[in-house]
Amino acid sequence: MPSVDPSTNLPTDPGTFEGSAFDAPPDAVRPRNEERLQKILAAAGLGSRRNCERMIDEGKVTVNGKEATLGDKADAVQDVIHVNGSRLVTDTRMVYLALNKPAGVVSTMDDDKGREALADYVPNISTRVFHVGRLDLESEGLLLLMNDGGLAHKLMHPSYEVAKTYQVEIAGPVPRAMGRELKAGITLEDGPAKVDSFKVVTAYGKVALVEVVLHEGRNHIVRRMFDAVGFPVQRLIRTQIGPIRLGDLRPGRTRHLSQAEIGALFKAVGE
């Protein structure tokens, strides 16, 4: 049995979890259900069948790594389809959501202590979803929820170095050396840590808002780094995971990711 990360309930080795919530047992025989490729593309929202035929004819579509030609068929569930180099999700059962987690919500699907949890903010869907990463109880902002366990695990695994962006409210004024110190790296109790970038967004009076980008995923990493430099976090909002931005999504609301955003997530992990 592969080892499991208790915070995500997913295997610690990204190579051991490649499927989705709909996966059959590994030794199961999966019957293929093939359709004309242009019909699959059109159903995925890429335009009319004629427009999809044109994309195939222009060499913009691949199926399982091979350039498609007019007349090809594919299985929308089992085959891997790319359009213009971006992964296209054609399995209509797949769910990819962005959630703006409010403060006070636990980053688990349910909570045995009766606190508000992620399931309280997920629209009615009939499949189990995985949450990408965690935000501590009082932190806010972007979480991704999906029933694609393979993609979820890769987005969380440190070897893929998917960057995350945070807005951090701290006491002002901000020392000039803070950014250099955080980018150079500081030593925490569980090892060194550093940010990829640092900038002051606003600074007024005794309050400052800074933005940091890092690809670390350790527990409370942002809060611990700012504690280490003597500026405890007053408010923490995650605004971006890889290519996905929080934007104007209101606290407590979810939205479905677009095909372009889903493709960008696959590209971020090399697929």
CA dihedral (201, 202, 203, 204) in degrees, to 10, reads -170
Asked if 192 and 221 touch (Cβ cutoff 8 Å), the reply is no
- What is the Cα–Cα distance from 61 to 84, expressed in whole angstroms? 6
CB crowding 71-110: b at 16 or more within 10 Å, else e:
ebbbbbeebebbbeebbbbbbeebbbbbbbbbeebbbbbe
Asked if 265 and 244 touch (Cβ cutoff 8 Å), the reply is yes
Q: How many C-beta neighbours within 10 Å does residue 205 have?
A: 8
Asked if 200 and 102 touch (Cβ cutoff 8 Å), the reply is no
- What is the Cα–Cα distance from 239 to 143, expressed in whole angstroms? 9
Q: Using DSSP, state whether 118 is helix, strand or coil.
A: helix
Q: Catalytic residue positions?
A: 136
R_g of the chain computed on alpha carbons: 21
Task: Give the tokens for residue 70.
Answer: 């007019």
Q: Side by side, which strands form the sheet with 81-83?
A: 66-67, 61-63, 81-83, 86-88
